[in-house]
Amino acid sequence: MSPALAAALQLALVVAVLAVLYVPLGDHMARTYTSRTHLRVERIGYRMVRVDPDADQSWKAYAASVLAFTLVSILGLYLLQRVQGVLPLSNGLAGVSPSVAFNTAISFATNTNWQSYVPETTMGHLTQMIGLTVQNFLSASVGMAVAVALIRGIVAVRGGGLGNFWVDLTRGVVRILLPLSIIVAIILLTQGVIMSLHTSFTATGLDGSTSAYALAPVASQEAIKELGTNGGGVLNTNSAHPFENPTPLSNVVEVIALLLIPVCLTRTFGTMVRDRRQGTVLLAVMGALWAAQLAVGLWAESSPHGVAAQAAGAMLEGKEVRFGIPSSVLFAVSTTGTSTGAVNSMHDSYTGLGGGGLLLNMLFGEIAPGGVGSGLFGILVLAVIAVFVGGLLVGRTPEYLGKKIGRREITMAALSILVMPALVLICTAVAVVLPSTSGALGNSGDPGTPGAIHGFSEVLYAFASAANNNGSAFAGITVTNDFFQIALGLAMLLGRLLPIVFILALAGSLAEQTPTPASTGTLPTRGVQFGVLLVGVVILVAALTFFPALALGPIAEALV
């Protein structure tokens, strides 16, 4: 099979599986979040934490629950890492250092999974299993809960609540993430993904030297790593490691898994607002951006620059030969378009244009198709902005799905959009002038040299990844000094929680309104026209905000 054909078949398989699962999974999720009945296991959980599952929460109560839950998660995860040395299944590893534990606790509780550590030599099995993996489920479920709360705000009639966070959190885990994870984990096991409580085995190489290979309970965590768009690998090289991602088929399964829930949530949205085409439009926008990024990435990585690459016929540095260029780019575009951050190739080694594309994919605000839940609420906020401008253009107070976009709504939408650029730009600007930074960069050099440009891109990428809760890295950068640990930690924390609070406030003020029935005078938000407008807004907002920064990094690199 020729590489091009293989690539086309893989791509077709990804799209076909998503297409088949779109309706059933989307509707299953809609049912999950609208059903009035509780499973027995859920009831036990509610009773244990003393929550009334039938209480409807206001936006403030919902937001307070999210904040409290996330902060407690961070604290718990921090403590677990610090004391892992005295707990069983620690693989003989000592407690994690405070700065790494701080950064990692925030990282996993905010669905970022930025890893400033080498997992094999830092985290014991117990920390991985009851700490990181548990947070992979919970943080993903929090994202979905917030998205669902926003949908409820949209469909609510005059003063309805946003639902109950604890119920949404529980159901997301029990009814969606756990069943899917079990299925995906079993498929991955068949492909050879390992699942072991041993710490390592030793093998003798052809040259007679012996090396130790780390073992871990990978398959169980690998499934939720992709499904929850988490991305934190059990093994340092993440999905490039043969134990995490052994075959082209496992690669396709992982790509499907990380796209699955964000894509199907648009169906959930359409079903819950009782207008399926509203969801289709959002999916089309996500799909168009994803496809465009994929096309540019494939072209950039297949057009070799430099002697070595031309000799190899492609930009293969930093990519697994068993995957080749198309599967690497497919994975990379999907992982940066969702908030996953898992990698099967080193993004640092991409071309200026290819790497810049991955960076831009995050700077869009991760909506192509975005993280679980966060992709949907992210694009809904951009839709609110698009509706606002479009609504003015048709001469009516802007309305989205019957709800007017007035002062409070636009304030909350604008604030939530403001957070990410502010974090990325401020943190990057501070980082690049700190003398300590140049020592942390994988690439550096005199000003104006390609090394200096790439070093800048690494910093920009790191903060874009953190503030968007992606978690992937331009791996060249070493982020273990205190500045990066703290700054990236705060970027992840604020990049996650501030937009969530603003979005829940937006949901709250939408919920207070009586819906206005649509007429021919209302801006239609279910057709091609609105899709084009929304794509325009997404690109314009990102381009206008980050053009200077991108010009100093990837654009300067690409134009050399």
Partner 1 sequence: MTPSTGAGPTLTTERPEPTPDSGIAAGPTPERTPAGVFRPRQLLEALPGAVHKLDPRHQARNPVMFVVLVGSVVTTVLAVLQPSAFAWAVAVWLWFTVLFANLAESVAEGRGKAQAATLRKAKQDTVAHRQTPTGIEEVPGSALTVGDLVVVEAGQVIPGDGDIVEGIATVDESAITGESAPVVRESGGDRSAVTGGTTALSDRIVVRITAEPGESFVDRMIALVEGAARQKTPNEIALNILLAALTIIFLLAVVAIGPMGAAAGQLQDPIRLIALLVCLIPTTIGALLSAIGIAGMDRLVQHNVLAMSGRAVEAAGDIDVLLMDKTGTITYGNRRATELHAVGAVSAEELAAAARLSSLADETPEGRSIVEMVTERFHLAAQASPAERRAELIPFTAQTRMSGVDVDGTRIRKGASGSVLAWVQEHGGSQRADAAAIATQATDLADAIGARGGTPLVVADLRTSTGQARILGVIELSDVVKPGIAQRFAELREMGIRTVMVTGDNPRTAAAIAREAGVDDVLAEATPEDKLALIRREQQGGRLVAMTGDGTNDAPALAQADVGVAMNTGTAAAKEAGNMVDLDSDPTKLIDVVRIGKQLLITRGALTTFSLANDLAKYFAILPALFSGIYPQLDALNVMRLASPASAILSAVIFNALVIIALVPLALRGVRYRATTASRLLSRNLLLSGVGGVIVPFVGIWLIDLLVRLVPGIG
Residue 498 near partner 1 by CB under 8 A: no
Q: How far is the CB of 517 from partner 1 (least distance, A)?
A: 6
Pick the closest to residue 497 from 184, 158, 109 (CA basis). 109
Asked if 435 touches partner 1 (CB under 8 A), the answer is no
| Min CB(472)–partner 1 separation in Å | 22
CA angle 273, 225, 30 (to 5 degrees): 15
Query: 3-state SS string over 388-422?
Result: HHHHHHCCCCCEECCEECCHHHHHHHHHHHHHHHH
Residue in 97, 411, 480, 481 binding partner 1, rule: CB under 8 A: 411
Taking CB under 8 A as the binding criterion, the range among 291-299, 339-347, 364-372, 383-391 that sits at the site for partner 1 is 383-391
Q: State how far the Cα of 234 lies from the Cα of 332, in Å rounded to an integer.
A: 18
Beta bridge partners of 40: none
In the complex, what is the shortest distance from the CB of residue 269 to partner 1, in angstroms, rounded to a whole number?
21
Sole window of 135-143, 225-233, 260-268, 414-422 interacting with partner 1 (rule: CB under 8 A) = 414-422
Say which amino acid occupies 282. Answer: L
Work out the angle at residue 461's Cα, subtended by the Cα atoms of residues 457 and 463, and round it to the nearest 5 degrees.
Answer: 125
> Is residue 533 part of the contact set for partner 1 (CB under 8 A)?
yes
Q: Smallest gap, in angstroms, from Cβ of residue 481 to partner 1?
A: 17
Task: Report the alpha-carbon distance of residue 425 to residue 217 in Å, rounded.
Answer: 38
Of the two residues 279 and 398, which places its CB atom closer to partner 1 in the complex?
398
Q: Decide if residue 406 touches partner 1 (CB under 8 A).
A: yes
Q: Does residue 395 belong to the site contacting partner 1 (CB under 8 A)? A: yes
Interaction of residue 430 with partner 1, rule CB under 8 A: yes
Task: Give the shortest CB-402-to-partner 1 separation in angstroms.
Answer: 7
Which position among 6, 414, 490, 498 is part of the footprint of partner 1 (CB under 8 A)?
414
CA distance 2 to 40: 52
499: contact with partner 1 by CB under 8 A: no
Instruction: Work out whether 385 is an interface residue with partner 1 (CB under 8 A).
Output: yes
Provide CB contacts within 8 A for 124, sequence distance 6+.
84, 87, 89, 90, 91, 92, 93
Query: Quick one: 205 or 448, whose CB is closer to partner 1?
Result: 448
Q: Which residues contact 324 (CB under 8 A, 6 or more apart)?
A: 3, 6, 7
403-409 long-range contacts, CB within 8 A, separation 24+: 403/154, 403/510, 403/513, 403/515, 403/516, 404/513, 404/516, 408/505, 408/506, 408/509, 409/384, 409/506, 409/509, 409/510
552 binds partner 1 (CB under 8 A): yes
Q: Does 236 bind partner 1 (CB under 8 A)?
A: no
Smallest gap from Cβ 337 to partner 1, in A, equals: 22
Q: Write phi, then psi, for 54 (nearest 5 degrees).
A: -100, 5
DSSP letter for 239, please: G
Among 6, 51, 410, 490, binds partner 1 (CB under 8 A): 410
Answer yes or no whether residue 306 interacts with partner 1 by CB under 8 A: no
Name which of 183 and 432 has its Cβ closer to partner 1.
432
How far is residue 42's CA from residue 554's CA, in Å, rounded to a whole number? 48
Q: Least separation, in Å, of the C-beta of 416 and partner 1?
A: 10
- Which of 262, 270, 391, 508 binds partner 1 (CB under 8 A)? It is 391
Count of positions on this chain that bind partner 1 (CB under 8 A)? 67
Residue 490 near partner 1 by CB under 8 A: no
Contact segment (CB under 8 A) with partner 1 among 180-188, 308-316, 364-372, 442-450 equals 442-450
Report the sign of the C-alpha dihedral through residues 115, 186, 262, 298, in that order.
positive
Local structure of 205: helix, strand or coil? coil
Residues engaged in binding partner 1 (CB under 8 A): 385, 388-398, 402, 405-407, 409-411, 414-415, 417-418, 421-422, 425-426, 428-430, 432-433, 446-448, 452-453, 456, 513-517, 519-524, 527, 529, 533, 536, 540, 543-549, 551-552, 555-556, 559-560
